[in-house]
């Protein structure tokens, strides 16, 4: 997982992908060349836990249609094929690549298969929606991002939370100044989780928080340190704690675990003006904004007459204002993400969760892994 930058730098997140020059012969990569109204032909690789959610959302979209599914496990394939004879079922990727009606492919397989599968799909001229994290190293991630850009293909990496209405609200509150300057991000993402055979808990769960942070913060962290412990198998960390130092005094902490008795999904974001909590377990009031904080008091402290507590109180003023819970829409994040993907395939625009977002996440993950191996020593990002 050494940092190897073999490829030219890639363009910024907001860039628009140039449309390829029109070709008289239709091919899977020609999706942007002619005005079209037919649904985008989709193939899905991986029909385990997450793949069927992608299939459901593509099928629910008026602008897309799942034409084929591939899974190495025939039993998994049979379970998605039931009830829809129009979906071609394949045990090898070639089955999807040989189908000219498939213009874009979603990959929902284990992380250690992402690079090879995505490379083959991009080389075939198809657009890709790939699960998080995009790949298992910075080098692999850079190769995929460069390949998509060179070929003018849409690459969306499924960092689902970037499309979650609560996270959108978090960004809005930060961008419109409601929270003030960001001071502190503290996330807990723990439950009795599925122990993954190919990755540790850091690579499994932390991509969610790291993608949120990458979207919220204008700059990447300066360094990361990670500690963790393995409680099963061959030394794979099942609990990990990440600390990220950013330019200025903003700090982020991410706690991920597969070894907790209950599911906790909470983020605290504190700013100079207000603080907020996003608790994904809440059905209503997922986001609460607190008009609370501290300010340095201008009052002089008295050490002769008062106690140390009095002295402390004189130096720090606590603002204990109201809490309000803004309305959070109930839209399914994955449905919005699928819509963004189809729209970007059609227009050539860059999706919100794009190759650069994915690279930012993998850069932190790889450095966090280095830190984990060094017992938590800070590693520059």
Question: Which CB, 17 or 364, lies closer to ligand NAD?
Answer: 364
Q: Closest distance between ligand NAD and the C-beta of residue 105, in Å? A: 11
What span, in angstroms and rounded, lies between the C-alpha atoms of 122 and 117? 9
Question: Which CB, 200 or 270, lies closer to ligand NAD?
Answer: 200
With residue 229 as reference, give the H or E element that holds it.
strand 223-230
- Are 341 and 129 a contacting pair, CB within 8 Å? yes
What span, in angstroms and rounded, lies between the C-alpha atoms of 381 and 378? 9
Considering the rule CB under 6 A, would residue 195 count as an interface residue with ligand NAD?
no
Residue nearest to ligand NAD (CB): 48
Q: Contact letters (x/-) for ligand NAD, 80-109, by CB under 6 A?
A: ----------------------------xx
State the CB neighbour count (10 A cutoff) for residue 60. Answer: 12
Considering the rule CB under 6 A, would residue 51 count as an interface residue with ligand NAD?
yes
Considering the rule CB under 6 A, would residue 71 count as an interface residue with ligand NAD?
yes
What span, in angstroms and rounded, lies between the C-alpha atoms of 351 and 13? 8
Question: Which CB, 18 or 123, lies closer to ligand NAD?
Answer: 123
Q: Closest distance between ligand NAD and the C-beta of residue 307, in Å? A: 51
371: its two tokens: 């830190």
**Piece of 23-31, 72-80, 237-245, 370-378 that binds ligand NAD (CB under 6 A):** 72-80
Q: Which of 254, 249, 274, 241 is nearest to 213 (CA)?
A: 254
Considering the rule CB under 6 A, would residue 49 count as an interface residue with ligand NAD?
yes
Considering the rule CB under 6 A, would residue 228 count as an interface residue with ligand NAD?
no
Considering the rule CB under 6 A, would residue 50 count as an interface residue with ligand NAD?
yes
Considering the rule CB under 6 A, would residue 265 count as an interface residue with ligand NAD?
no
Q: Closest distance between ligand NAD and the C-beta of residue 300, in Å? A: 53
Question: Which CB, 54 or 224, lies closer to ligand NAD?
Answer: 54
Q: The dihedral of CA 241, 129, 114, 92: what is its sign? A: positive
Considering the rule CB under 6 A, would residue 74 count as an interface residue with ligand NAD?
no
Q: Which residues contact 224 (CB under 8 A, 6 or more apart)?
A: 242, 243, 244, 245, 364, 367, 368, 371, 378, 379, 381
Q: Which of 86, 80, 81, 96 is nearest to 45 (CA)?
A: 96
**Piece of 68-76, 81-89, 244-252, 253-261 that binds ligand NAD (CB under 6 A):** 68-76
Q: Closest distance between ligand NAD and the C-beta of residue 140, in Å? A: 13
What span, in angstroms and rounded, lies between the C-alpha atoms of 36 and 346? 8
Question: Which CB, 216 or 361, lies closer to ligand NAD?
Answer: 361
Q: Contact letters (x/-) for ligand NAD, 131-160, by CB under 6 A?
A: xx-------------------------x-x
Q: Closest distance between ligand NAD and the C-beta of residue 80, in Å? A: 10
Q: Closest distance between ligand NAD and the C-beta of residue 47, in Å? A: 5
Tell me how far apart the 2 most distant CA atoms of the chain are, in Å. Answer: 89
What span, in angstroms and rounded, lies between the C-alpha atoms of 187 and 268? 6
Q: Which of 109, 106, 114, 122 is nearest to 28 (CA)?
A: 122
CB burial of residue 190 (10 Å; 0-12, 13-18, 19+): buried
Q: Contact letters (x/-) for ligand NAD, 9-48, by CB under 6 A?
A: ------------------------------------xxxx
User: What does the binding site for ligand NAD look like in residue numbers (CB under 6 A)?
Assistant: 45-51, 70-73, 76, 108-111, 113, 131-132, 158, 160
């Amino acid at each position: 997982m050494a940092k190897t930058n073999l490829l030219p730098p890639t363009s910024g997140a907001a860039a628009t992908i140039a449309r390829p020059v029109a070709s008289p012969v239709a091919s899977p990569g020609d999706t942007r060349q002619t005005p079209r109204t037919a649904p985008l032909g989709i193939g899905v690789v991986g029909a385990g836990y997450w793949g069927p959610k992608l299939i459901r959302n593509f099928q629910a979209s008026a602008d897309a249609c799942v034409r084929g599914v591939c899974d190495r496990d025939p039993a998994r394939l049979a379970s998605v094929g039931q009830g829809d004879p129009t979906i071609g079922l394949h045990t090898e990727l070639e089955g999807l690549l040989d189908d000219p009606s498939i213009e874009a492919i979603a990959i929902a397989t284990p992380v250690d298969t992402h690079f090879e599968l995505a490379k083959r799909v991009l080389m075939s001229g198809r657009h890709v929606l790939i699960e998080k994290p995009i790949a298992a190293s910075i080098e692999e991630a850079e190769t995929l991002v460069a390949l998509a850009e060179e070929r003018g293909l849409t690459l969306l990496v499924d960092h689902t939370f970037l499309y979650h209405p609560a996270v959108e609200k978090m960004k809005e509150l930060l961008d419109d100044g409601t929270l003030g300057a960001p001071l502190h991000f503290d996330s807990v993402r723990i439950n009795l989780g599925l122990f993954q055979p190919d990755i540790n808990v850091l690579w499994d769960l932390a991509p969610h928080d790291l993608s949120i942070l990458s979207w919220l913060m204008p700059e990447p962290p300066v360094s990361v340190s990670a500690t963790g412990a393995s409680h099963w198998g061959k030394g794979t960390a099942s609990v990990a704690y990440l600390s990220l130092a950013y330019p200025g005094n903003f700090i982020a902490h991410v706690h991920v675990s597969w070894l907790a008795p209950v599911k906790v999904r909470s983020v605290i974001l504190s700013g100079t003006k207000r603080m907020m909590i996003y608790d994904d377990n809440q059905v209503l009031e997922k986001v609460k904004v607190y008009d609370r904080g501290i300010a340095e008091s201008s009052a002089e402290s008295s050490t002769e007459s008062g106690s140390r507590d009095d002295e402390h109180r004189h130096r720090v003023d606590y603002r204990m204002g109201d809490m309000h819970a803004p309305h959070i829409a109930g839209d399914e994040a994955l449905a919005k993400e699928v819509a963004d993907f189809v729209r970007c395939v059609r227009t050539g625009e860059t999706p919100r969760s794009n190759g650069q977002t994915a690279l930012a996440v993998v850069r932190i993950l790889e450095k966090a892994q280095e830190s984990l191996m060094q017992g938590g020593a800070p590693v520059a990002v």
